Structure 1
Amino acid sequence: MASATDDPDGDGPDGVEFVREDDGTVTARDLETGLARGGDSRAEALAQLAEVLELHEGGGESIENPDEFLRDELDVDPDERDADGPLPEFLR
């Protein structure tokens, strides 16, 4: 199921495409950016996609202490992370 609007400027597709996955979840994909997020319902997938789009456009808050964020928010031990490898993009 897809929803798109007319593109009067000719600068690419606009709208959101919804895909029902085999496991029953729904994926919402922004046609302009190609970014996608999923959820248990269309509403949840769309809400998740809205957050991703906000971050993609520079919104959100900076992470002051990446190690603390990993430990407290994601339950990841920063000492077990590959110290030579780069941080994930969302922590840079």
Structure 2
Amino acid sequence: MASATRREDDGPDGVEFISESDGTVTARDLETGLARGGETRAEALTQLAEVLTLKAGGGEPIEDPDVFIDEIGVDSGIDDSELTEFMR
């Protein structure tokens, strides 16, 4: 069972840390309800900050998704010839 802790000075614009049963920690933004997890509170908070930045329109846009996919080495394992026309 997860347990949550909040500091007394946190208002509605704070972060809630939830200790998960598997030992990980979830950080949840009270204003947006967005949450991210990590092995430590610091890692969970870092992940949450990244999500909040992206939600606010931050980050760098991907100009060419195909180049990005190639850079990170994602292979769908699907031959394009196997796809129906609308999926190509």
TM-score by length of 2: 0.74
Corresponding residue of 1:49:
48
- Identity across the alignment (%): 62
Corresponding residue of 2:74:
76
Q: Distance in 2 between matches of 1:42 and 1:18?
A: 7
Q: Distance in 1 between matches of 2:56 and 2:34?
A: 12
**What is the number of residues matched between the two proteins?**
77
Equivalent residues in 2 for 1:53-64, closer than 5 Å:
53-64=52-63
Unaligned runs of 5+ in 2: none
Equivalent residues in 2 for 1:1-92, closer than 5 Å:
1-3=5-7, 4-5=10-11, 13-73=12-72, 75-77=73-75, 80=78, 84=87
CA displacement at 1:72 relative to structure 2: 2.1
Secondary structure of the structure 2 residue equivalent to 1:47:
helix
Q: Which amino acid aligns with 1:61?
A: E
Instruction: Name which one, 1 or 2, has greater alpha-carbon Rg.
Output: 2
TM-score by length of 1: 0.71
8 Å Cα contact 1:67-1:78 kept in structure 2: no
CA displacement at 1:68 relative to structure 2: 2.1
Q: Distance in 2 between matches of 1:71 and 1:38?
A: 27
